[in-house]
Structure 1
Amino acid sequence: MILERSQLLTCPVLPAVNLVAIAVLLRGRCGLSRCITRYLVAMAAGALTVIISDPILKMMRLIYFPHSLLNTWAACCLLEVLVSAATESCVWFTMAFTFDRFVAICCLKLKARYCTERVATVVIGGLCLLCSLESIPWYFVYEPEYVINGVAWACQEKPSFYHSATWASYEVLHLLLTPCIPFVLILLFNALTVRYVLVVSRGRQRLTRQGTKDTELQSRRRSLILLFTISGSFILLWTTKVLFHIYHRLVPYSFVDNVMGMVAESTGDMLQVLSSCTNTFIYTVTQTPFRAELRRGITYPLHWILQFVK
């Protein structure tokens, strides 16, 4: 419960961070291509959905509004589906962004056809649809926790969820899709990208005169920094949750009833939610145009207020 409340302390901050990132990116003045901007906006919007549905709606209804409409059985099940779909979308948006950068840097013949705004839009829309369909079975995992005057309230996992081979297979499939397979793909594409850049860099350094700046290498270096910081933070912040789910299936369910189990589960959930706001800080640290646009957006209202006062 303490860790759940600590998640709520960050609720006013996380949506604002992602809204600022979306607003700055949509202005299109960060020196990024429209294709990259589409993926970054999608990741920020997906993270915003996770924040609203998980720590805000899900946790607040449990702690502060246990008898509200959000805590009815049907609403609880729908909220679980929304949280699952939003979380899975965020994971696959990160993988799609990693693959897009791999194509842009390593597959120059395919770059012109794949790294376009239209393809990015189709990929993002397709991932949203697939993640939503894959999350629908979560609605049938839960049963009412209690019934008052014929109204079903709250939701808890059915006992069959932990004893049925069908549900066990579905949970394993869900764990593979979110985030094990994206983990492997992100690491693979990053490794291939690094290998390609190192080989090309050595060749260009031999051809480039000493003391001459290579703008192409500098551009690739900035792309790599952005790529590795986004994918690296994603993997680090999801690792605890992945390890908990794997351990959870390997040991008896009573594990989560003790203090260590609850701390591990809550810590994993908290780090996963935290991963929803890290990309904005990454943009700020690694992208000079983003910092300039952010400063401009902060100072403009102050400048307008000063002009109005004068």
Structure 2
Amino acid sequence: MITVFILLRRNCGLSKCISAYMVAMATSDLLVIVNSIIIYNILSYHFPFSFLSHTPVCKLIVYMTAMSLDLTVWFTVSFTFDRFVVICCQRFKAKYCTKRTATMVLIVISVLILSKNILVLFAYEPEQIINNTQWGCRSSVNILTSSPAFAWFHSAWIAWLPFLLIFLFNSLTIHRIVVANRTRIGLRGHRSENHNNSAMESRRKSIILLFSISVSFILLWLTHSTSLVITRLSNPNYYRGDLNNPEYIITETGNILKLLSCFLNPCIYAVTQNKFREELNNVVKSLLKQIVRLVEKHKEKTNAF
């Protein structure tokens, strides 16, 4: 929430285009934390037979969970493509890398994902019926076994296609930066090697940022994507909470790692910016001052009585 707030203030020295993508990614990560972790894995699990356990509500929670995960993945892909255009497509850069284009891209991606995940609502059925009331929701075995292509499509959409696109865009971008650096070094070879070059330093930071994006996303999502295909296609009934089942252990490990990526994204995309850290310090100091003032006012009222 603080990341979104700081980015919306636009005091981090970022362009409007980059800010739009970073706000979208931070917001989608927040949705994942709220839906997948707080509501689905904590409240729904530890408070059975509550309002959240009604089948329609449970289906909505599953839908929101799948939707938010898709958003965070494809917002990352769109941001990576935007950085690719900035560095590798100079002629296309002026038309594409604008706030208007970024907003339209984010809207189109959101609409497509909202429409695509409607299928999730039909992939679950009531877990049990008590007094004509539907409770819980579980995967519909009929849908999974009769449509193995659904698991392949879901795995490709959520991980394998993003893997390919992110790897492709970042590889081309890094190659372009390396070639540009070699050309620049060749042109200024007669100068001192210790000469400070701000342009080369900026390119070096770009390579580090892009490498962090690729490695963190691929490593944290690879286990989930692999286990998704193996378990859903070979054994649709694997997910029964058996702690001795290797498939269950791998699946849960993959889920933990993919959720962890949502915590790391703000660090990769925002915290690495010097001005963002300055804004973060200012916001934290401001909040602490407000808390101290409230405490002092409370003490004054208490002493008055």
Matched, 1:42 2:28: no
Corresponding position of 2:253:
267
Distance 1:86-1:283 versus aligned 2 partners, 3 A rule: closer
Matching residue within 130, 145, 151 for 2:133: 151
Quote how far apart the aligned CAs of 1:278 are.
Answer: 0.4
Q: Deviations over 1:126-153 (max 9, x none)?
A: 1111011111011011111111111101
Matching residue within 97, 102, 107 for 1:115: 97
Greater CA drift, 203-212 or 148-157: 203-212
Aligned identity (percent) is 38
Alignment partners' CA distance in 2, 1:128 and 1:225: 29
Matching residue within 274, 278, 298 for 1:292: 278
Matching residue within 58, 71, 88 for 1:76: 58
Quote how far apart the aligned CAs of 1:254 are.
Answer: 5.1
Quote how far apart the aligned CAs of 1:306 are.
Answer: 6.5
Quote how far apart the aligned CAs of 1:291 are.
Answer: 1.3
Q: Deviations over 1:212-249 (max 9, x none)?
A: 43332222322332232223211111111011112214
AA aligned opposite 2:171? A
AA aligned opposite 1:138? V
Corresponding position of 2:158:
178
Quote how far apart the aligned CAs of 1:304 are.
Answer: 5.6
AA aligned opposite 2:222? T
Distance 1:144-1:303 versus aligned 2 partners, 3 A rule: closer
In the superposition, the TM-score normalised over structure 2's length comes to 0.88
Q: How does 1:226-305 map to 2 (within 5 A)?
A: 226-253=209-236, 255-257=238-240, 258=242, 259=244, 260-283=246-269, 286-303=272-289
| 8 Å CA contact retained: 1:38, 1:120 | yes
- Find runs of 4+ consecutive structure 1 residues off by over 4 angstroms: 254-258, 303-310
Q: Any stretches of 5+ residues in structure 2 without a counterpart? A: 298-305
Quote how far apart the aligned CAs of 1:307 are.
Answer: 7.9
Aligned length: 290
Q: Deviations over 1:190-218 (max 9, x none)?
A: 11111111111111122234354333222
Alignment partners' CA distance in 2, 1:281 and 1:90: 14
AA aligned opposite 1:72? H
| 8 Å CA contact retained: 1:61, 1:71 | no
SS at match of 2:128: strand
Corresponding position of 2:183:
203
Quote how far apart the aligned CAs of 1:285 are.
Answer: 5.4
Alignment partners' CA distance in 2, 1:284 and 1:221: 17
Corresponding position of 1:194:
174
Quote how far apart the aligned CAs of 1:96 are.
Answer: 0.5
Provide the alpha-carbon RMSD of the alignment: 2.1
Q: Any stretches of 5+ residues in structure 1 without a counterpart? A: 1-18
| 8 Å CA contact retained: 2:44, 2:52 | no
Quote how far apart the aligned CAs of 1:95 are.
Answer: 0.6
The structure number with the bigger radius of gyration is: 2
Quote how far apart the aligned CAs of 1:188 are.
Answer: 0.6
Corresponding position of 2:86:
104
Distance 1:307-1:206 versus aligned 2 partners, 3 A rule: farther
Distance 1:35-1:114 versus aligned 2 partners, 3 A rule: same
In the superposition, the TM-score normalised over structure 1's length comes to 0.87
Distance 1:247-1:207 versus aligned 2 partners, 3 A rule: same
SS at match of 1:275: helix
Distance 1:86-1:33 versus aligned 2 partners, 3 A rule: same
| 8 Å CA contact retained: 2:54, 2:135 | yes
Distance 1:305-1:155 versus aligned 2 partners, 3 A rule: closer
Alignment partners' CA distance in 1, 2:197 and 2:232: 51
Corresponding position of 2:77:
95
